[in-house]
Amino acid sequence: MYICGAKLKIRMEAIRIFDRNVPNAPVVEYPFDNMSAMKMPGGVIVLELNVHDYSMAQIARIVEDNDAKIWGCYVSMPADSAKMEVTLKINQTDLTSIIRSFQRYGYFIKASYHGHNRHEDILRNHYDQFMLYLNV
């Protein structure tokens, strides 16, 4: 599944931390939105894999072999499943070569969100040319 031009934005204003045992304790506010990798330009890839096949070293090697960097990683695993999801924030907007590398190594791409997809551009161009031909 490819969603072109989708912008993911997570906005966390502040976190309030306080000690319930201390009355009138000061409230500490910390802005996480300035630290978030989600504000940085790039794309997101969601991998689905078996728990026993998870290797962050191999995932990082595949990404870095394509001259990209991982800015963030989130791992989740549903309680009723033997599969896990690894969400990667990558510093490139064109993830086509990275996605193909993951597929070459047998990874299942559950979703990807990036700004540009050459394959869809080619298909769109062919479709537009075909429609123009039919209208003539």
Q: Tell me if 29 is assigned to some domain.
A: no
20 within some domain: no
Strand partners, 109: 47
Identify whether 88 is part of a domain: yes
Tokens standing for 62? Answer: 């595949």
Kindly state whether residue 15 falls inside one of the protein's structural domains: no
Q: Tens digits of per-residue pLDDT, 65-86?
A: 999 999 999 999 888 888 999 9
CA distance 29 to 116: 37
Closest C-alpha to 124, from 41, 43, 5: 5
DSSP H stretches of helix in 25-135: 56-65, 96-104, 118-135
pTM for this structure?
A: 0.60
Sign, Cα dihedral of 33, 35, 40, 45: negative
3-state secondary structure 11-61: CCCCEEECCCCCCCCCCEEECCCCCCHHHCCCEEEEEEEEHHHCCHHHHHH
By percentage, how much of the chain surpasses pLDDT 70? 66
Say if 6 falls within a structural domain. Answer: no
Q: What are phi and psi of 125, to 5 degrees?
A: -65, -45
Domains: count for the chain: 1
List, for residues 110-129, the tens digit of each pLDDT value.
Answer: 988 876 556 677 778 888 88
Residue 47 has pLDDT above 80, yes or no: yes
* Within a domain: 87: yes
In single-letter form, the type of residue at position 45 comes to I
Domain that holds residue 47: 41-135
Tell me the three state secondary structure of residue 78: coil
Residue 96 falls within a domain, yes or no?
A: yes
Is residue 46 a part of any domain in this protein?
Answer: yes
Split at pLDDT 50, 70, 90, the class of 101 is very high
CATH number where 83 lies:
3.30.70.260
